[in-house]
């Protein structure tokens, strides 16, 4: 959470920072600010505002600044309410050092106390201001910023990254990373730092992903990295980013979320091309023979993730049990890491994450590694921390996802986890080759089916128009579509702010049935499946109590269509593949309800795209 960007070089820093923040705003949007050294006057300017970047941009219209060094920040509030005073950058008491920060300094209160005793005054409630003042206190004793930062971070607990500079040396940025992402962009006569490569793509594709405890000194011409872990100056090799910058634009769509929903058939197609070879074998380019050998010995699988990625893990778990015949559990990362998990080298822990930076999932990965389990990351963002720290990684290749509500990344996670389960089934010989062939043949049709469901989206619009003022929704599903019910409910609540609850349909009688009356919409996910008849019984029970039934079924289910107030159908597909389609109408429904309620679809209140604090 929080987007950070830094620049030093020949261009005017201000537009570079603003352009970077536009790309990073999805990380947090409680306030935005920049700090730079005015090239003519040599003075430090800090301009920051509460609210979205647009407000800061308007404010910047009052200034003409030419600067060749600067830092910019977009905030997701942790310590202190969203306000101008709490907005970053923060400046130390001497007024010389400006700093932006992503993460949490856990022992900030103790440090603040000590600094207050030395008469340092604080203007905000943030841990960030404490950090910059601790650095400032050492800088005043010996004016070498690098040494001051090195000493100060040694006293700070928690996980965070910083970018800072002093107006005494307006040619040098200092950056530090501990757990939270930080990437350096390499230019000619200029260099960049950011929490996310998307901010760098307009300028460079050559990047260095910093490792934990790296402290880098960046000038327009040079980058030097000191590893606090290795206690030495080190070389980190640059990588090339292959993402297409245009993928991070709206391309005529009113919202990123809608654009990303429409990209789903293409995402599926790419995954299938990459993962299914001409000879019909499933192939993961990043899984080598040695890792494959470890996979053969696996006796138990845990799928660990948060939010939408957790729902993808639940579907993956059903497939892993059914096809690879391995006991498989799913757990949210925050519960797993504190639940003293019992693990050994025959356990495979699969960490599923779009961003590859989610704090709880990263902590779960470290816990699993500590306990000797085999770890596999299923990640979208290439080069992210979780992708780098796991024993192996499988990329989901969904491309940049900007909308806070995850859509195409979910589809990509589902497809990848299903293929992983089939792959495990193949190496464990728990699926006959002919069955797998037939399944993959059906899988290859999914991009086309997905495009068809998207095309029929207008129908979902009409249903949303009928119900968008309601405040309570119930979602029911069974088997591999129980996670679809959870995902549909999560989508609706995060972008429309209506209360939505996902339930296993069989559990309805154990409580939620009390909610049902003529005003209660129940979204029933009932495609062709082993439990179809059971779903029909649940729907009868809802109708008997006058509830409103919105059903997602399979083409040709006339009985279900007759029973429902609204009915959407998906093409007939094997049950295990159906979650790739049933979720699409639910994404549309959530999107339309949010738009009709005038919500900020891409940047819903209180949320951020990647949750890098616990
Ligand atoms: C989904 O719409 C969410 N915004 C959220 O639940 C997200 O899936 C979760 O925070 C996990 O993020 P990750 O995949 O980047 O780890």
Q: What single string gives the DSSP state of each residue in 196-262?
A: SGGGTTTT-SEEEEPPTTEEEEE-SS-EEEEETTTTEEE----EE----GGGGS-TT-S-HHHHHHH
- The ligand 1 atom nearest the CA atom of 381: 15
Looking up tokens 């070498």 gives 144
Write the CB contacts of 171 (distance below 8 Å, at least 6 apart in sequence).
Answer: 8, 68, 69, 219, 220
Residue 247 has pLDDT above 70, yes or no: no
Q: Is 307 in the pocket of ligand 1 (CB under 6 A)?
A: yes
- Helical packing angle, 482-496 and 579-596, nearest 10°: 20
Quick: pLDDT tens for 522-570. 999 999 999 999 999 999 999 999 999 999 999 999 999 999 999 999 9
Write the CB contacts of 360 (distance below 8 Å, at least 6 apart in sequence).
Answer: 306, 332, 333, 334, 337, 611, 614
Distance 354 CA to ligand 1 centre (A): 7
Give the Cα separation of 543 and 523 in Å (integer): 12
> pLDDT value at position 241?
87
Cα 144 to Cα 45, 101, 150: the distances in Å are 21, 20, 10
Percentage of the chain modeled with pLDDT above 70: 99
Q: What domains lie within the chain, and their CATH numbers?
A: 3-241 (3.60.20.10), 251-444 (3.40.50.10490), 457-614 (3.40.50.10490)
Distance 378 CA to ligand 1 centre (A): 13
Q: Is 354 in the pocket of ligand 1 (CB under 6 A)?
A: yes
Percentage of the chain modeled with pLDDT above 90: 84
Give the Cα separation of 475 and 309 in Å (integer): 18
- The ligand 1 atom nearest the CA atom of 405: 2
**What does the block give as tokens for 575?**
């049950």
Residue 216 has pLDDT above 90, yes or no: yes
Q: Is 396 in the pocket of ligand 1 (CB under 6 A)?
A: no
The mean pLDDT of 299-321, rounded to a whole number, is 97
Q: Is 375 in the pocket of ligand 1 (CB under 6 A)?
A: no
Residue 581 has pLDDT above 70, yes or no: yes
Distance 614 CA to ligand 1 centre (A): 13
Quick: pLDDT tens for 437-470. 999 999 999 999 999 999 987 788 889 999 999 9
Q: What single string gives the DSSP state of each residue in 320-366?
A: IIIII---EEEEEHHHHHHS-----TTEEEEEEESSS--HHHHHHHH
- The ligand 1 atom nearest the CA atom of 611: 10
Q: Is 353 in the pocket of ligand 1 (CB under 6 A)?
A: yes
Backbone angles phi, psi at 580, to 5 degrees: -65, -20
Q: Could you confirm whether 2 is annotated as catalytic?
A: yes
Distance 249 CA to ligand 1 centre (A): 20
């Amino acid at each position: 959470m929080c987007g950070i960007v830094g620049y030093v070089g020949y261009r005017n820093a201000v537009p570079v920072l603003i352009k970077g923040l536009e790309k990073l705003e999805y990380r947090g949007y409680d306030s935005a600010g920049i700090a730079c050294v005015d090239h003519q006057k040599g003075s430090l300017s800090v301009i920051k505002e509460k609210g979205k970047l647009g407000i800061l941009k308007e404010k910047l219209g009052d200034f003409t600044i030419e600067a060749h060094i600067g830092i910019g920040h977009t905030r997701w509030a942790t310590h202190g309410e969203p306000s101008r005073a709490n907005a970053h950058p923060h400046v130390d008491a001497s007024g010389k050092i400006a700093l932006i920060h992503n993460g949490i300094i856990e022992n900030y209160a103790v440090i603040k106390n000590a600094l207050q005793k030395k008469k340092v005054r604080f203007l905000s409630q943030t841990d960030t201001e404490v950090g910059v003042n601790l650095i400032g206190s050492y800088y005043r004793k010996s004016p070498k910023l690098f040494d001051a930062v090195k000493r100060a971070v040694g006293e700070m607990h928690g996980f965070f990254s910083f970018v800072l500079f002093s107006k005494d040396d307006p040619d040098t940025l200092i950056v530090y990373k501990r757990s939270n992402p930080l990437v350096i962009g390499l230019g000619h006569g200029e260099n960049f730092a950011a929490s996310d490569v998307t901010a760098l793509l307009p300028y460079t594709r050559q990047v260095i992903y910093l490792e934990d405890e790296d402290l880098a000194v960046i000038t327009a011409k040079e980058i030097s990295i000191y590893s606090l872990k290795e206690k030495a100056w080190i070389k980190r090799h640059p990588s090339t980013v292959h993402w297409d910058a245009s993928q991070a634009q709206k391309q005529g769509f009113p919202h990123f979320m809608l654009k990303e929903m429409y990209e789903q058939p293409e995402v599926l197609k790419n995954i299938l091309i990459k993962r299914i070879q001409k000879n019909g074998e499933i192939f993961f380019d990043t899984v080598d023979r040695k890792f494959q050998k470890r996979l053969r010995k696996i006796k138990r699988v845990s799928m660990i993730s948060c939010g939408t990625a957790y729902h993808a893990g639940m579907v993956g778990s059903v497939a892993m049990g059914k096809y690879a015949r391995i006991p498989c559990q799913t757990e949210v990362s925050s519960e797993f890491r504190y639940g003293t998990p019992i693990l050994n080298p025959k356990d495979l822990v699969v960490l599923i994450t779009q961003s590859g930076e989610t704090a709880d999932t990263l902590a779960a990965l470290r816990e699993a590694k500590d306990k000797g389990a085999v770890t596999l990351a299923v990640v979208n963002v290439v080069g992210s921390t979780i992708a780098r720290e796991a024993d192996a990684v499988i990329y989901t290749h969904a491309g940049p996802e900007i909308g806070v509500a995850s859509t195409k990344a979910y589809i990509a996670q589902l497809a990848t986890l299903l293929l992983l389960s089939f792959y495990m089934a193949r190496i464990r010989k728990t699926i006959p080759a002919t069955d797998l062939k037939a399944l993959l043949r059906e899988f290859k049709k999914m991009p086309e089916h997905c495009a068809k469901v998207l095309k029929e989206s207008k129908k979902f619009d009409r249903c949303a128009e009928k119900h968008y003022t309601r405040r309570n929704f119930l979602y029911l599903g069974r088997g591999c579509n129980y996670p679809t019910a959870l995902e549909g409910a999560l989508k609706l609540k995060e972008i429309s702010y209506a209360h939505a609850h996902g339930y296993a349909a069989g559990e309805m009688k154990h409580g939620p049935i009390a909610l049902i009356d003529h005003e209660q919409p129940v979204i029933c996910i009932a495609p062709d499946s082993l439990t179809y008849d059971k779903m029909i019984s649940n729907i009868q029970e809802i109708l008997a109590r006058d509830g409103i039934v919105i059903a997602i079924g399979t083409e040709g289910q006339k009985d279900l269509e007759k029973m429902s107030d609204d009915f959407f159908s998906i093409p007939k597909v094997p049950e295990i593949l159906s979650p790739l389609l049933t979720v699409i109408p639910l994404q549309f429904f959530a999107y339309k309800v949010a738009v009709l309620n005038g919500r900020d679809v891409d940047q819903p209140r209180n949320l951020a795209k990647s949750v890098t604090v616990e």
